[in-house]
Amino acid sequence: MSRTEPPIRCQDLAVGYDGEPILTDLSFTVESGSTLALVGRSGCGKTTLLKTLAGALTPLEGDAAVLDTELPETPPPGTMGYVPQSLGLVGHETVLMNVLHGRLSDLGWMDSLLGRFSGDAKIDACEAIEQVGLGGYERTRVKELSGGQRRRVAIARAFVQEPRVLLADEMLSELDDETARSIVDCLAALQRETDMAVVIVEHNLEIAREIADAVLRLGSGGIEERMTPAGTPTPDSTLAGDRTDP
């Protein structure tokens, strides 16, 4: 029976650098509207896997696709949001302009070069800035912000895209509990509105189990454990949210 392919699908995927694998035999899917959390000790390959899904690294083996685009090619601009560890912000530009960069795919070549955004785009960017708790900082240069504030700018930039897939590397780090909760609430609301699929790297297992529909614990060169939000291990062939043909 035919069915819609999940936004993210990996089969026997191996990821690493310079031909040397860090993780192998990765098989999983992420369905529309669901969140997958990647956990594990530092250096186990969480960020490497996320970079591969983002198209920044070439898979070493196996098959993987994001929005029906085979890796390492990337899906159409504006359909995938990415919050890397480095955040990728422009320090000398304002908070508003950095968030507007999330809407560059809406512009033609000349408008993109000149940074000419529509009034609606600016309204949406200001709303995203307000959502992450930075209302009033629109004209502040990013280089003047704290680390946690910069992370919120990167999150707002991703949210304003309303992407079909969001990849986020430790999105909640450097944030106080109240701000982290508001970000999680914003993410949940955006998922309900757009049916967005999310993959998030999270160092805290308890937080991962709270915000995700499924959790992969990575280590020893692959997937060590698959967990439901409650922490119950699941069979290695399935994840919460995976679809199987009848």
The pLDDT tens digits for 180-192 are 888 888 888 889 9
Q: Which of 163, 181, 197 is the last residue of a domain?
A: 163
Q: Is residue 50 assigned to a domain?
A: yes
Other C-beta atoms lying within 10 Å of the C-beta of residue 244? 8
Q: Does 69 share its domain with 112?
A: no
Other C-beta atoms lying within 10 Å of the C-beta of residue 136? 10
- Residue 99 corresponds to which amino acid? V
Q: Does 100 share its domain with 146?
A: yes
Q: Does 97 share its domain with 197?
A: no
Q: Does 187 share its domain with 241?
A: yes
The pLDDT of residue 56 is 94
Domain that holds residue 178: 1-75+164-246
Q: Does 2 share its domain with 69?
A: yes
The SS3 call for residue 19 is coil
- The tokens for 214 are 């499924």
User: Cα separation of 190 and 244, whole Å?
Assistant: 26
152 vs 1: which has the higher pLDDT = 152
β-pair partners for 198: 35, 166
Q: Which of 115, 134, 163 is the last residue of a domain?
A: 163
Confidence of residue 1 (pLDDT cuts 50, 70, 90): very low
Q: Does 70 share its domain with 95?
A: no
Q: Is residue 170 assigned to a domain?
A: yes
- The tokens for 19 are 């031909």
CA angle 22–71–243, rounded 5-degree value: 90
222 vs 204: which has the higher pLDDT = 222
Q: Which of 119, 147, 163 is the last residue of a domain?
A: 163
- The tokens for 102 are 């999330």
- The tokens for 218 are 């990575």
Mean pLDDT of 122-130: 92
β-pair partners for 86: none
Mean pLDDT of 197-203: 94
Q: How many domains does the chain have?
A: 2
Q: Which of 166, 207, 203 is nearest to 80 (CA)?
A: 166
pTM of the entire structure? Answer: 0.84
Mean pLDDT of 213-237: 79
Percentage of the chain surpassing pLDDT 90? 63
Q: Does 130 share its domain with 191?
A: no
Q: Does 60 share its domain with 169?
A: yes
Q: Does 199 share its domain with 141?
A: no
Q: Is residue 15 assigned to a domain?
A: yes
Q: Is residue 24 assigned to a domain?
A: yes
The residues, ordered by sequence, that sit 6+ positions from 19 with a Cβ below 8 Å of its Cβ are 60
Q: Does 169 share its domain with 141?
A: no
- The tokens for 153 are 């700018």
Q: Does 210 share its domain with 235?
A: yes
Return the sign of the alpha-carbon dihedral for residues 177, 178, 180, 185: positive
The pLDDT of residue 98 is 94
Q: Does 4 share its domain with 59?
A: yes
* pLDDT for 242 beyond 90: no
